[in-house]
């Protein structure tokens, strides 16, 4: 069974767009970037993320599915709360399975 805590979503939150990237968590709180940032809705980040994950054979299919599902949850949450950055705190509280870092907000 995949452990979602092995992955970290990095978020750039704006009223007009949402930037998301995925890192692999390593020991000692170190991270390794797995993807570039995808900016929703400027590009189809979900499809680009799916493609990028497919080029990384060391990521299991189960982990890829979990990453894509969590990515979808974050996008859907942003769509409902884009105008209120303070609601990101609610996402943290409501989603213990999500592991992310808010890098910037505009």
Nearest CA to 71 out of 52, 90, 85 is that of 52
Specify if 38 maps to a domain.
Answer: no
Is residue 1 pLDDT above 70, yes or no? no
Specify if 90 maps to a domain.
Answer: yes
pTM of the model: 0.80
Look at 104 and 57; give whichever has higher pLDDT: 57
- Average of per-residue pLDDT values in the chain: 83
Chain mean position to CA 58: 19
Contact 31, 23 (CB under 8 A): yes
Q: Total domain count for the chain? A: 1
Q: Look-up: residue for tokens 């592991």?
A: 99
Tell me whether residue 51 is exposed, middle or buried, using C-beta atoms within 10 angstroms of its C-beta: 0 to 12, 13 to 18, 19 or more.
Answer: exposed
Specify if 37 maps to a domain.
Answer: no
Q: Which domain holds residue 106?
A: 44-106
pLDDT digits (tens, 9 = 90+) for 60-99: 999 999 999 989 988 888 888 888 767 666 766 666 566 7
Is residue 43 pLDDT above 50, yes or no? yes
pLDDT digits (tens, 9 = 90+) for 23-37: 998 888 888 999 999
């Amino acid at each position: 069974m995949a452990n979602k805590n092995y992955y970290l979503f990095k978020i750039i939150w704006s009223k007009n767009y949402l930037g998301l990237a995925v890192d692999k968590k390593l020991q000692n709180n170190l991270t390794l970037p797995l993807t570039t940032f995808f900016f929703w809705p400027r590009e189809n980040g979900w499809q680009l993320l799916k493609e990028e994950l497919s080029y990384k054979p060391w990521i299991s299919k189960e982990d890829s599915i979990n990453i894509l599902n969590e990515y979808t949850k974050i996008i859907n949450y942003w769509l409902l709360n884009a105008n209120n950055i303070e609601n990101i705190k609610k996402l943290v509280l409501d989603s213990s399975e999500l592991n992310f870092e808010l890098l910037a907000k505009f």
